[in-house]
Amino acid sequence: MSDSTGNPLDDPAADPFEVAATAAEDIARITGVERHDIALTLGSGWGKAAELLGETTASFPATQVTGFSAPALTGHVGTLRSVVTPKGRRVLVIGARTHFYEGHGPRRVVHSVRTAAATGARTMVLTNGAGGIKHTWTPGTPVLISDHINLTGATPLEGATFIDLTDLYSLRLRDLARSIDPTLDEGVYCQFHGPQYETPAEVQMAKAIGGHIVGMSTALEAIAARQAGMEVLGFSLITNMAAGIQKTPLSHHEVLDAGREAEPVISSLLARVIGAL
Ligand code: HPA
């Protein structure tokens, strides 16, 4: 049953895993692919990777799948794709992210991850565009996420669901990524609520508590992926130096421009890493 928004996840009585199972059935029907092996969520700047992964066998609006909502922002394409890699692995490419700041709650934020798990995917690759705290990270630098600090005050887990998050961002997969690009640096991702960018004082707080990257996604999704038993790999594209690290103001256009410029390089990196999974 769905409420007046038409999204079944907005019904508090709905079981989000059942909604995800229905969504996975939708995907199997639309794509003709019974099981996917790997899922990839595309953040700002990472959009071209899908084309380099292999052959796209199906591409469709996410809104055709149960529980997905229309995209809220330019730069976030609401498309799902099924791609087959040269090795024959099936990749579900998710170009439809629901952000926590949209205010629909954690169930909607992590629905794509739970759906990916229900399609059979055992590996979840999460990418985003984010602000960098390390001075050596100029805009356009891709970095691995080594860990996160969840500053949203929210969780996708419901009830007394105790999930171990040690090695949430798999060391095995980070090492594999570094075997493809040894220059990859890594850092701790801080998920803020957004949608306002951080104040310089908030960036200094993030730095003081051990953060290196600031953004508005990924942590809640990674938690849900681990709950579903998936192995997680996270990448941030540093689109800008975080507020106060650079002295000029931040703009959403700057973030999108940096993403566009870095896109060819980081997309090929991502395709090579996924090709090696
Ligand atoms: N902060 C939060 N989210 C972001 C940023 C940032 O500086 N850049 C891109 N996404």
Query: How far does the centroid of ligand 1 lie from the alpha carbon of residue 149, in Å?
Result: 15
Nearest CA to ligand 1 atom 10: 130
List, in sequence order, every residue forming a beta bridge with 214; answer none if it has no partner.
Answer: 131, 190
Q: Does 240 appear as a known binding residue?
A: yes
Average of pLDDT values for 178-204? 97
* pTM above threshold 0.75: yes
Q: Cα 24 from chain centroid?
A: 18
Average of pLDDT values for 231-242? 96
Cα gap 94→81, rounded to integer Å: 7
- For residue 161, what are the contacts with CB-CB under 8 A and spacing of at least 6? 227
Cα gap 79→59, rounded to integer Å: 7
Q: Cα 89 from chain centroid?
A: 20
Please choose from 100, 149, 214 the residue to mutate so as to test ligand 1's pocket, defined by most ligand atoms within 8 A of CB.
214
Cα gap 9→1, rounded to integer Å: 9
- Of the listed ranges 4-8, 62-66, 133-137, 199-203, the one predicted with least confidence: 4-8
Q: Does 253 appear as a known binding residue?
A: no
Average of pLDDT values for 8-36? 97
Q: Does 268 appear as a known binding residue?
A: no
Please choose from 126, 204, 245, 250 the residue to mutate so as to test ligand 1's pocket, defined by most ligand atoms within 8 A of CB.
250
Judged by DSSP in three states, 243 sits in strand
Quick one: pLDDT band at residue 72, thresholds 50, 70, 90?
A: low
239 lines ligand 1 (CB under 6 A): yes
Tell me the two tokens of residue 142.
């891709």
List, in sequence order, every residue forming a beta bridge with 93; answer none if it has no partner.
Answer: 40, 81
Nearest to 99 by CA among 224, 215, 252: 215
Residue 5 predicted with pLDDT over 70: no
Quick one: pLDDT band at residue 2, thresholds 50, 70, 90?
A: very low
Percent of the chain at pLDDT > 70 equals 95
Cα gap 165→159, rounded to integer Å: 17
Question: Vertex 166, ends 174 and 242: CA angle to 5°?
Answer: 60
Peptide bond into 249 cis (omega under 30): no
Examine the residue annotation and report whether 198 is marked as an active-site residue of this protein. yes
Nearest CA to ligand 1 atom 2: 215
Q: What is the pLDDT of residue 206?
A: 98
Q: Each residue of 145-177: pLDDT tens digit?
A: 999 999 999 999 999 999 999 999 999 999 999
Long-range contacts of residues 157-164, Cβ cutoff 8 Å, at least 24 apart: 157/223, 157/227, 158/16, 161/227, 163/223, 163/226, 163/227, 164/226
CATH of the domain at 260: 3.40.50.1580
Q: Give residue 204's region: left, alpha or beta (phi > 0; psi -120 to 50).
A: alpha
> Which DSSP letter does residue 171 get?
H
Average of pLDDT values for 79-91? 96
Judged by DSSP in three states, 197 sits in coil
Catalytic residue among 186, 198, 202, 231: 198
Cα gap 56→82, rounded to integer Å: 6
Residue ranges with strand state E in the chain = 38-41, 55-61, 79-84, 90-95, 123-132, 141-150, 185-191, 213-215, 231-241
Look up the domain containing 12 and give its range.
3-276
Query: Number of folded domains in the chain?
Result: 1
Which residue type occupies 264?
P
Quick one: pLDDT band at residue 45, thresholds 50, 70, 90?
A: confident
Q: Each residue of 28-43: pLDDT tens digit?
A: 999 999 999 999 999 9
